[in-house]
Structure 1
């Protein structure tokens, strides 16, 4: 975009997002991408993210903008704030997912190999039955967020996007469900 004196003018991100939301305007997306991708990458790298991961998250951020442009509310936040918040949340989600993977690898490395004792198998089956029964008493909305979080490995923000509910609601449902499970199963949960 040319400004006065031939200088490149900063695009109006709110207008670009509106164009993307209303008519899936590819030119608006290209402008938004060209302007924000390097800035998001730099922002993430200044926060300690590797160059490769920062580039991936920058691209993922702008794809979220493309898919979720109609959810942008200019009265709630500026376009840049909205975009950088998406990037920050994606970085946090990626960190948590990586930490979970590292935890599983560590757990698998520590777990001894060998045949299971019959008593252990029976106890495991009984525990599974108790958990299954406890899950059935949960309200459907709480059960759904637990399934997405623990069984599907989704982050809270991914669940909020998928169910189209606020992030705080997802967190509250998980907390309430876990409290009910603790009450039903005992403190070992």
Structure 2
């Protein structure tokens, strides 16, 4: 059953206000409009992240990052697709996922001191051949896929970081990386 009445009207008026603020940030780099958005949404984003299990310091840092993204990417906001709140909390959710992924990355193994064990010559040659084949397969990828693979795996960037840097939608990045990995798997088999 659809919700009606004064509460819905109040939310529409409030969203319209935030849409105007976003347009002022987008069109005029309006710091007053940004301050209003920041004052309203930053504490709510931090609380949202903390409810999701993020510690207070990380939630604060992430909220700051989300609001900086709002400032830099205001041109990407489309009021026909989502409310301002939905757009901001989607950015926050994606940042939280990125942080969780980074936290789960394994620590590098301890380095052994002293002389290294001799590697088997056949293993060394096989590894060298496999590396050469992989380099060749990467070079044969379409440029759009190759640059994303290089950023993700050699540049150690998350998909969201790549999206921020390239301006491409996150779904496009994930799709191109998935296609590139499929091509690489076929090339290596």
Query: Which category of TM-score, normalised to the shorter sequence, fits these structures?
Result: 0.7 to 0.9
Q: Which runs of 5+ in 2 are unaligned?
A: 1-13
CA positional deviation for 1:158 = 2.3
User: Deviations for 1:44-93, whole angstroms, at most 9, x for unmatched residues?
Assistant: 10111100100000000000000001111001100000011111111111
- Provide the secondary structure at the position in 2 that maps to 1:138: coil
- Provide the secondary structure at the position in 2 that maps to 1:117: coil
Map of 1:162 onto structure 2: 165
CA positional deviation for 1:112 = 6.5
Map of 1:117 onto structure 2: 119
CA RMSD of aligned residues (A): 2.0
Does residue 79 (structure 1) correspond to residue 79 (structure 2)? The answer is no
Map of 1:185 onto structure 2: 188
* TM-score in terms of structure 1 length: 0.83
Distance change in 2, residues 1:88/1:184 (3 Å): same
Q: Which runs of 5+ in 1 are unaligned?
A: 1-9
CA positional deviation for 1:122 = 3.4
CA positional deviation for 1:116 = 4.5
* TM-score in terms of structure 2 length: 0.83
CA positional deviation for 1:170 = 1.2
The number of equivalent residue pairs is 172
